[in-house]
Amino acid sequence: MALVGESMVKNVDNIIKEKLVDLTEALIRFKSDKDTPDERKKCLDYIEGYLRKGCKAQFKAERIESNGILSLYIYNPDAKIRKQKEILLAGHIDVIGARPEEFVPRHDKVNVYGRGSGDMKSGVAVMLELFIKHAEKKNISLLLTGDEEIGGMNGTNVAAEKIKPSVVLIPEPTDSFLVIKEKGGIWVDISVDGPGGHASRPWIARNAIDVLTEIITEMRKHFLTARKEGWVDTLSIGAFEGGSLDVKEGRVVKGAGNVIAKHASARVDIRLTEKTSHDKAYRIIDRILAAKLKEIGPGYRIEKSGATWVEHLNTPENLPEVKGMARAYEKAFGKKPKIVGEHGASDGRFFSSKGIPAILFGCVSVGYHSTDERAEIESILKCFEVMDNYISAAK
């Protein structure tokens, strides 16, 4: 026979699990992709209404708008509460576009299925239930944005200029790991233009495709094309075009083959660990381009354009906030967490770049951004439990 206390705990777990599943499914039904601003607004309206109905604490819901992107910042304005260190739960309600049927959620005993189930409607559900539980006594706040999947520049980037929490917790899907680092990134276009010529006389001019290939080969010496997972700088070619090309009926077709290619260009994705700054990466690229241009001589043009970067997320492991999350994890799981770095990027970088600790912890999810996206229900509950432990212990 189970002890009364044990039964109560199980009942609480079952109730919150049911709430989290139902709320996740309700959020999935909003087709909140980049092309549906009305749906994103409806989703944020639903979230505010859900909290108004379920939360005993009085709270403010501030709308932040930038270039058509609407964000929602929710907090308890009580002066006594605001004297505590602010714990911000941050998440996004936007998803990658999908077929209509992917916005019809379902669940079984193991998973919740549907677009955004893992990334990150289940995480948003966790945020809302945590706010409902703690907002009366803890300085817990919520930030919901609508453009994370397209870079976050008008969502979290703008909000982070106004909101200065002590710590940011982000329930993105992390397979139940604590993520305290994410690589920075650079996206850059590199193009080569030359005089060209007849293919029967390849000695009269350098082929632009060859030149660009040599540049990329040199870049690979500094930024690896990794064949296995590792915490290293990496380089990937996202697009490459060159030579005589034409477009017919929306399709790229080959042009004449009897020419020395006059043009070639590539879009390059470089991911950087915290050991390599963006400035250092740009200096390496510029040095390689200058050396190649000097080598091939006049009559050629080599350009770097469209350069954008993504900041690193770098939260030191020895910070009290990371140690607090580790204790909260250990209390929930009965073992120490695996603390890792992620190769991709999240909106946490906008706070990390300002010296605000940002920690990601979320559910086990498979197939996000795909037709088979699903989130493991037990891990959603564990995400709630870990963050609940952290918030409960906060002073």
Tokens describing residue 60: 């403010």
How many angstroms from the chain centroid is the CA of residue 303?
29
Burial track 44-56 (b if 16+ CB lie within 10 A, e otherwise): bebbbebbeeebe
Q: Which helix (H) or strand (E) holds 21?
A: helix 4-28
Q: Where, residue-wise, is CATH 3.30.70.360 in the chain?
A: 186-310
Q: What is the pLDDT of residues 144-157, one digit of tens each?
A: 999 999 999 999 99
Say how far apart CA 99 and CA 114 lie, in whole Å.
10
Q: What is the pLDDT of residues 203-240, one digit of tens each?
A: 989 999 999 999 999 999 999 877 788 899 999 999 99
119-123, 222-226, 285-289, 312-316: least confident range:
222-226
CB 47 within 8 A of CB 135: no
pTM value? 0.88
130-139, 255-264, 285-294, 310-319: least confident range:
255-264
Which CATH number is 186-310 given?
Answer: 3.30.70.360
Provide CB contacts within 8 A for 123, sequence distance 6+. 91, 170, 171, 172, 173, 362, 363, 383
The mean predicted confidence, pLDDT, of the chain is: 93
Architecture of domain 4-182+312-393: 3-Layer(aba) Sandwich (3.40)
Q: Where, residue-wise, is CATH 3.40.630.10 in the chain?
A: 4-182+312-393
Other beta carbons within 10 angstroms of residue 336's beta carbon come to: 11
CB 69 within 8 A of CB 145: yes
Among residues 21, 136, 30, 156, the alpha carbon closest in space to that of 93 is found at: 30
Asked if the peptide bond before residue 127 counts as cis, ω within 30 degrees of 0, the response is: no
